[in-house]
Chain A
Amino acid sequence: MTDHRNRPSDENRAICEVIHAALEQVPVTADQAEQAWKSLAGNAPPLPPALAEPKAIFHKPARAATVIPFPALPEVDATLARAAREAGHLTPEVQEQMRRDRQAAQEEAKANKRENTNGPDVR
């Protein structure tokens, strides 16, 4: 199902054509591949370690997106559940604990990402 309102070109077709050209698409024809290869001459980025060894690629399973664990502490879970049940107020202590847990989880996720160089982060 496609929504016709989702048309990138509705506003101005000419400007869309040049934006498309400026955004660098992956070449999908032989001609485009030839031009891309010429434009890369001497300037291709170095391969990341993850792609250096073909055999490792072949046996490496694709990874799912990283999940950030939250909240980290059972007492915060319990407080959140109670607040949800009773439509109650979160105390400043719990809010502060939540903030720290979130920060810790985000740092942990960042560290994991640095260690595992093949994690998809689609945004």
Chain B
Amino acid sequence: MESTPARDGAAEMTDETDGDLLVYMAMADTDLCCARTAWETFYRRHVEYLYAVCLRAYGAILGGETGAADIVAETFKRAYEHAGTFDAAGVTDAQQQVLRTRGWLGRIAQRLAMDILRGRGGLKSHSLDADQWQQIAAEPPTLPAERDNERIAMVRRAIESLNAKEQTVIRVTFQWYRPGDANQRLPNDVCEDLATALGTTSENLRQIRRRALKKIEVFLRANAPHLAGRSKAP
């Protein structure tokens, strides 16, 4: 098969680190061809990963494979446009840079998904502002995560046992949940947009969420009482 020149260029860049590729992308004003080639290499390196995690996280609330693919495509475009904001934080090891880059791509995708859930009318109409890019640049601290796989699997079953409306409410509201944070807040515009989408009121949405959480607890007590007991632990 005959390769195109751009393909050959991309092949030449496969040994470059993510940090270097992003530097080339950030120089699009002076060398557009090099920037696009770097972007293509960068894209091929991360697209499979990013699509898999976006499908897993957003498939149920943003339109399945189609919605996940849209988020991924937009994330890569934003990464190109804002390549200069990536902070390698002094990491020089290529493999560590890959992981750090994936965290950064994840933060971009997360912001885009949240904006869609805020009802900004689809991906076309919005862009991330300067403050958001500052927050995206900095890697958040990694908090201790729930590691009890048995309990996680049982809670997934409990969530799947909820009706469609309850599942949507739980999946959307938990996009704003911050583990370990005492002050959990769901922005009013998200609440109002979700209420509108589900044909209900914000107050009723809170009741749906309370009912769904109660159902999950009841499901755990009925199907795995030992796990339900653990959920009461501090």
Chain A interface (Cβ < 8 Å from any Cβ of B): 1-12, 14-34, 36-37, 40, 44-45, 47-48, 50-51, 54-55, 57-58, 60-65, 113, 117-123
A26–B53 contact, CB under 8 A? yes
Shortest beta-carbon distance from B15 to chain A in Å: 18
Indicate whether B90 reaches chain A with its CB closer than 8 angstroms.
no
Query: What would 30 A/B residue contacts be, using CB atoms closer than 8 Å?
Result: A2-B186, A6-B191, A7-B184, A11-B214, A15-B217, A15-B220, A18-B151, A19-B177, A22-B156, A25-B175, A26-B53, A28-B139, A29-B141, A31-B142, A33-B99, A36-B52, A37-B102, A44-B48, A47-B51, A50-B69, A51-B69, A51-B73, A62-B73, A62-B122, A117-B65, A117-B69, A121-B63, A121-B66, A122-B119, A123-B198
Q: Which residue of B lies closest to A6 (CB)?
A: B186
Chain B interface (Cβ < 8 Å from any Cβ of A): 6, 36, 39-40, 43-44, 47-49, 51-58, 61-63, 65-67, 69-70, 72-74, 76-77, 80, 96, 99-100, 102-103, 106-107, 109-110, 113, 116-117, 119, 121-125, 139-142, 145-146, 148, 151-153, 155-156, 159, 168, 170-171, 173-177, 179-181, 183-188, 191, 197-198, 202, 206, 209-210, 213-214, 216-217, 220, 231-234
Q: List chain A residues, Cβ under 8 A from B174.
A: 8, 16, 19-20, 23
Q: List chain A residues, Cβ under 8 A from B176.
A: 8
Q: Which residue of A lies closest to B191 (CB)?
A: A6
Given contacts A26-B53, A62-B122, 10 further A-B contacts (CB under 8 A): A3-B185, A6-B185, A6-B206, A28-B103, A28-B107, A40-B53, A48-B66, A51-B73, A120-B116, A122-B62
Residue picked from A5, A9, A22, A24, most chain B C-beta under 10 Å: A22
B70–A62 contact, CB under 8 A? yes
